[in-house]
Amino acid sequence: MKCFKIILLLVVAAMTMAACSRTQFNLADSTEIRFQVADYRSSEAASKAPDDYKADYGSVPFGAYAWYKGENPADDTTFMTNQKVAYNASSNVWFTEGATYYWPKWGSLDFICYSPYSESGVPAVDEQSITYDSWDVAANPDVDLLYADKSTGLTENISTYYYSGVPVLFRHALAKVAFSLRLAYSEMTPATGDKTKWEVTLNSMELKDILTKGSLGLTLENGEWKLPENKVWTADTTKTSIDIDCASLEVFRDTIPQTLKESFFVLPQALDKGQKIVMNISIKTWRDTGNGYPEEPFIKETSIEMNAALSTSTVTAWSMNQNIKYNLIFAPSKSVDGLSPIEIYFDPADADWETINMDIQITI
């Protein structure tokens, strides 16, 4: 799921230099600063354009920081500090709320944005870093944390994505996971003609030992955010169990998958801390020997508890900006790789005779 989007913004300014003079840019005076936002999702093909941020986040304002870079370095200064930016539907633009900013006549601006906007200053942002400190996903289950690529050297509103303004490409700081379940098979008809079918009920499901609290520090390296190893946060020891509501599930009578839980936010974490799925399942088995299936099952296996590690050969971590779906496949009987049931065979052997030699006297 590694995808990278490289955006090259080439700004070419033709300048005529003369002694003790400089040419003025041909830009309109008092141009308001606007924003153009997009949402990047690494789980999709790299060739796919970023989504319009408004599609999913039209009602979610974001925060913006900006720094002025003057032609004289001594003029460099902070331009915006945690400024709220919101969508204006009537004009179809994103611009600052509660204040109006204009493009400077000379020099340029650098921008760092994050979402959703927070008055409390979460995350902490400066010109070279973004820091989330002790973020608790369990306490904020519906908050989608996003951070944007830094935009530098801007002198005017430009068109890159869907609007005219400062280009803001958001990436997801958290991960998402989802779960579905299906039967590997629900009926078997062997060459002998007698059939077997199964019905499975998922009584309960729980995710155990999930890390929920951690910190993330991003720093710029060659103009890009340097991500932590394996794209996971630095987690503390806070763990929790997540119950999956099974009340609305139907009895599994075929191989059609059912959604156990839609995608939800989780702390990006390595899956080597005992994170696992715990399920309680009941199984009914019927046999048809030629007269149809009887009303009552052949055997019942009730309230069977089983568990499986969330780490797999292909998923060893829940990484930033990943949306991971576990498609669980359950075999209702002992099976070869979970695909086909194991037939019952026999292993007959013949024990040796026990030889007894005795002198037996029989008196008649």
67 and 88 both lie in a single domain: yes
Residue-number span of the structural domain to which 155 is assigned = 34-173
Residue 226 included in any domain? yes
Co-location of 273 and 215 in the same domain: yes
- In this structure, the answer to whether residues 243 and 161 fall within a common structural domain is no
Please indicate, yes or no, if residue 121 is contained in any of the structural domains.
yes
Do both 145 and 197 map to the same domain? Answer: no
User: In terms of domains, do 126 and 213 share one?
Assistant: no
Mind giving me the DSSP string for 191-248? TT--EEEEEEEEEEEEEEEEE-EEEEEEEEETTEEEPPGGG--EE-S-EEEEEE--TT
Q: pLDDT per position in the chain (364 positions), as tens? A: 434 332 222 222 222 222 222 223 233 345 898 888 887 665 444 456 789 999 999 999 999 999 999 999 999 999 999 999 999 999 899 989 999 999 999 999 999 999 999 998 789 999 999 999 999 999 999 999 999 999 999 999 999 999 899 999 999 999 999 999 999 999 999 988 899 999 999 999 999 999 999 999 999 999 999 999 999 999 999 899 999 999 999 999 999 999 999 999 999 999 999 999 999 999 999 999 889 999 999 999 999 999 999 999 999 999 999 999 999 999 999 988 777 899 889 999 999 998 888 877 878 7
Identify the residue whose tokens are 């669980």: 328
- Kindly report the CATH number assigned to the domain that includes residue 52: 2.60.40.2620
Give yes or no: residues 228 and 167 share one domain: no
Q: Residues 276, 146: one domain?
A: no
Say if 342 falls within a structural domain.
Answer: no
The pLDDT of residue 171 is 96
pLDDT at 328: 95
114 found inside a domain: yes
% of the chain residues with pLDDT over 70? 89
Encoding tokens for residue 179?
A: 């779960």
Rounded Cα–Cα distance for residues 116 and 351 (Å): 76
SS3 222: coil
Final residue of a structural domain among 173, 208, 234: 173
- How many angstroms from the chain centroid is the CA of residue 337? 27
Domain boundary among the residues 140, 173, 206 is at 173
Same domain (yes/no): 50, 197: no
Domain-located, residue 13: no
Both tokens assigned to 238: 């806070």
In a domain, 132, yes or no: yes
Single out the residue in 153, 173, 193 at which a domain terminates: 173
1 lies in some domain: no
Q: Residues 220, 122: one domain?
A: no
Q: Return the structure tokens found at 358.
A: 């005795």
pLDDT tens-digit map of 192-231:
889 999 999 999 999 999 999 999 999 999 999 999 999 9
Reduced to 3 states (helix: H, G, I; strand: E, B; else coil), residue 56 is helix
Whole-prediction pTM = 0.84
Do 99 and 182 touch, CB atoms closer than 8 A?
A: no
Give the chain's domain count: 2
Residue 124: CB atoms within 10 Å: 13
188 & 268 share domain: yes
| DSSP bridge pairs for 248 | none
Do 289 and 201 fall within a single domain? yes
Residue 24 included in any domain? no
Q: Are residues 188 and 316 in the same domain?
A: yes
